[in-house]
Chains A and B, each alone.
Chain A
């Protein structure tokens, strides 16, 4: 059982049990353009909800990726340093950034479902 949620900052969050996998949406990668570098957090690092956890760099600019919920990094996507373009080609699949273990599952209630996110981006 897993569920997919979204933030206003265009991150998606795939929740499986107490683990949340985080990436950016297709809309976000489209806005960013070609991704050339991703600065990932270290496994074991703790982040409070809303704190900068990663940085994604396009040819044009750097953008912060915020922890959508509080938690501890349990895994990062080791494929990204070698092939950051995965964020463009498969943003909601192989282009994921990191996974964290939820500190407070109640925070998930503050995230959007897919319909709300689609409305948020005016799709």
Chain B
């Protein structure tokens, strides 16, 4: 694929990114800011200490509504292992679309509202996801919100800043959402994000997206943050990146995401690949996603091979995300290893430029989550 074949899509904040001096890169078909002039390290640290504003409008925003009295939560459970029917109105949950072999087709956030579900899916998967919803949920209406941008405000100051603009958001608990009025438009705000910090994701009509972003950026406690720091933040938080840490070749159990599957759903099944998930829950898996802490300072990146021995002969698996963790102040990675070597503290070796780097299986997250419970 070359960048010139198809013109890149732009978000409602494109002009603002450019005015702020962002370096724009192609990402999932969109022109997106990878960093602003101060750079990824500064942006990362600012998000952990104050509040970072991210444009995540490339992600898909979808409403699923039942037709003729159908329950959209029961319907969606035919496609995901998450317990959607247990969600009370205003509550949200992380789950994934699976195939018949329990391979992960995408990961998504689902919020239950009175009569519908609000779903956020990955940019690179959204076309296939929506086609899947439409094909497999004939009892539901599936609406993609092309007319809405999505902003994430993340960090310890996010709540204080957002409350000054939109009264009442501080009452939202972690993983819950509600509608709020702002400047003549309706925002759908959830207390969520993908950085490990407290924060919010805000769905805003495209027409008001730039003015909302500017209102947030007018506060000195907020700076714009690009995809580069978003990636290092989510990696330190131990969160999976679709297409890397989780793919159609990995199951939720191998990916250490069994916590997303409730007792009822484990017992009842009823989602694609349920028999594989049930068997893996009972018998274990041959490999598992783990955190990896390399010794020294050198980042070990996606694709690096993992071995049991310094001679690099006993192959254990592959690094799926890796880089430098600014908060950890050292290299951090995640990858799949043979289950025999998945215990926290287990010593292993990562191949970096042909040489063995000693490493340990590390507990995730690398940086403690600071969600507001």
Contacts and interface: CB of A to CB of B under 8 A. Distances in A.
Contact of B41 (A34, A37, A61, A81): A34
A37 B39 contact: no
B299 A62 contact: yes
B324 interface: yes
Contacts of A61: 301
Given A39-B353, A55-B353, A59-B326, A34 B298 contact: no
A36 B353 contact: no
Nearest to B301: A62
B40 interface: yes
Nearest to A39: B298
Interface string B67-108: 000000000000000000000000000000000000000000
Contacts of B324: 36-37, 57, 59
Contacts of B264: none
Contacts of B301: 61-62
A39 to B, nearest CB: 6
A37 B297 contact: yes
A60 B298 contact: no
Interface residues of B, number: 18
Interface residues of A, number: 15
A33 B38 CA distance: 9
B26 interface: no
Interface centre among A37, A59, A60 (most CB of B within 10 A): A59
B297 A81 contact: yes
Interface in A84-123: 84, 88
B219 to A, nearest CB: 25
Contact of A59 (B298, B323, B353): B323
A57 B40 contact: no
A37 B39 CA distance: 16
Nearest to A60: B228
Interface string B329-373: 001000000000000000000000100000000000000000000
Contacts of A36: 41, 297, 299, 324
A81 B296 CA distance: 10
B232 interface: yes
Interface string A39-52: 10000000000000
A120 to B, nearest CB: 20
A34 B299 contact: no
Nearest to B42: A34
A59 B324 CA distance: 6
Contacts of B35: 33
Nearest to B38: A34
B7 to A, nearest CB: 24
A61 to B, nearest CB: 8
Given A58-B40, A88-B39, 9 more contacts: A33-B35, A34-B39, A36-B299, A59-B40, A60-B228, A60-B323, A61-B301, A62-B299, A84-B297
Closest 9 CB pairs between A and B?
Answer: A36-B324, A34-B41, A59-B40, A34-B39, A37-B297, A37-B298, A59-B324, A57-B299, A33-B39
6 contacts: A57-B324, A59-B41, A59-B228, A60-B34, A62-B301, A81-B297
Interface of B: 34-35, 39-42, 44, 228, 232, 297-299, 301, 323-324, 326, 331, 353
Interface of A: 33-34, 36-37, 39, 55, 57-62, 81, 84, 88
